[in-house]
Chain A
Amino acid sequence: MALLTASLMSFLVLATSASAFTLDEFKFDTPGQEEEFRDLISKLRCLVCQNESLEGSQAELAQDLREEVYGMMREGQSKEEILVFLTDRYGDFVLYDPPLKPSTYVLWFGPFVLIGIAAFFMVRSLMRSRGGAPSTLSESEQQRLQQLLNTQAGSEDKSA
């Protein structure tokens, strides 16, 4: 935690001392291309400030990656090619949208499976309780109840 705070502090100091990065330096021929570029970098996570996209991060590495993406786009590479290039090097972590594949099935379907299981048991218990006669205690349970009540009564004067 101390390390995290320290690194955050040093980042803030660095961020204020260095001039801020803007997206103005990335020039495009058409507004459409620019939009595509912004869309792409907003889908990519900065690995230094992990809750920021490459579109907004002021980390130096984010600038390097923006330049890389820009260069690849200018070379005419497709969005998919650029995403593959980056995931090959940094893993799926750079994507804000985790891809659907066996290792992420739990992530994608887990909550629905859990809700399904819970719904199944809820419906079942609702069906049961409807029209079910009030349950009576069995012989052994009656005895146990009596026992509990007795110990309760017996322990009261001891608990003081």
Chain B
Amino acid sequence: MTDDKTTPSNSKLRFLVPLIIFGALAGLLLFGLGQDPREVPSPLVGKAAPEFKLPDLLDPSRTVSNADLDGQISLINVWASWCNACRAEHGILMELAGRDDFQIIGLNWKDDKTDATTVIRMTGNPYKRIAHDPDNEYGIDWGIYGAPETFVVDRQGIIRHKHIGPIDPPTWERVLAPLIEKLNAEQPGKES
């Protein structure tokens, strides 16, 4: 490129290049600002759900384990009585409890049994089963670092998605509902 015969369009382009580079960088940083640093992507997505075996919160004579996930699409919802955001999503879970194309399993995490039972009794139980893990016995295996967190597990027992924080209507409509629909189309369950 010789510079002594710059056409107007060429020189205009030369001034545009830094602007474009700046714009790209600014865009990248702006995108970064929109990310929530508290949402840590789970490396478990796409892998088999970790083994767990815990007493049932409401029926200590029985256990809740991976066997309860077999052949079902499950939302595994990590919750606790001390968790405010869990209360915020409780209503939507109650609404979803009636659906028969997936089940909701609760994982009561680092919680006192009496407190947890009281919350369920007072506000209603959206869960098919509730695994009670007061001492974080399985939380580390599942990569849990707070409540609420929700895993979507398919019929093969593979974790397909993890949602961090409470499920609000937009999350349900835009992320979880389409995913469950997709999983149902992928592997139709037994007609009930």
* Interface segment out of the listed B39-47, B67-75, B100-108, B176-184: B39-47
When distances are taken between beta carbons in the complex, the residues of chain A under 8 Å from B143 are 89-91
* Chain B 34-66: CB-based contact to A (< 8 A → 1; otherwise 0): 000110111110000000000000000000000
**Given A64-B136, A89-B140, A89-B143, A50-B41 contact (CB < 8 Å):** no
- Chain A facing B: main interface SS: helix
When distances are taken between beta carbons in the complex, the residues of chain A under 8 Å from B4 are 135
Instruction: Please measure, in the bound complex, the distance between the C-alpha atom of A23 and the C-alpha atom of B167, giving whole angstroms.
Output: 36
Does A83 touch B at the CB level, under 8 Å? Answer: no
Nearest neighbor of B8 in chain A, beta-carbon distance: A140
Does B132 touch A at the CB level, under 8 Å? Answer: no
For residue B122, give the distance in angstroms from its CB to the closest CB of chain A.
Answer: 21
**Given A48-B146, A50-B38, A91-B43 contact (CB < 8 Å):** yes
Nearest neighbor of B141 in chain A, beta-carbon distance: A89
When distances are taken between beta carbons in the complex, the residues of chain B under 8 Å from A64 are 136, 139-140
Among residues 125 to 167 in chain B, which have CB atoms less than 8 Å away from a CB atom of chain A?
A: 136, 139-143, 145-146
Q: How many residues of A contact B (CB 8 A)?
A: 19
When distances are taken between beta carbons in the complex, the residues of chain B under 8 Å from A88 are 43
Does A128 touch B at the CB level, under 8 Å? Answer: yes
Contact A89 B136 (CB under 8 A): no
Q: How many residues of B contact A (CB 8 A)?
A: 20
Among residues 40 to 97 in chain A, which have CB atoms less than 8 Å away from a CB atom of chain B?
A: 47-48, 50, 60-61, 64-65, 68, 87-91, 93
Contact B145 A90 (CB under 8 A): yes
Instruction: Please measure, in the bound complex, the distance between the C-alpha atom of A68 and the C-alpha atom of B145, giving whole angstroms.
Output: 14
Contact A61 B145 (CB under 8 A): yes
Contact B146 A90 (CB under 8 A): no
When distances are taken between beta carbons in the complex, the residues of chain B under 8 Å from A68 are 140
For residue B6, give the distance in angstroms from its CB to the closest CB of chain A.
Answer: 9
Cβ 8 A contact of A47, one of B3, B40, B141: B40
Contact A93 B142 (CB under 8 A): no
The 6 A-B pairs of least Cβ separation, nearest first, read A47-B145, A89-B143, A91-B43, A93-B40, A64-B136, A90-B143
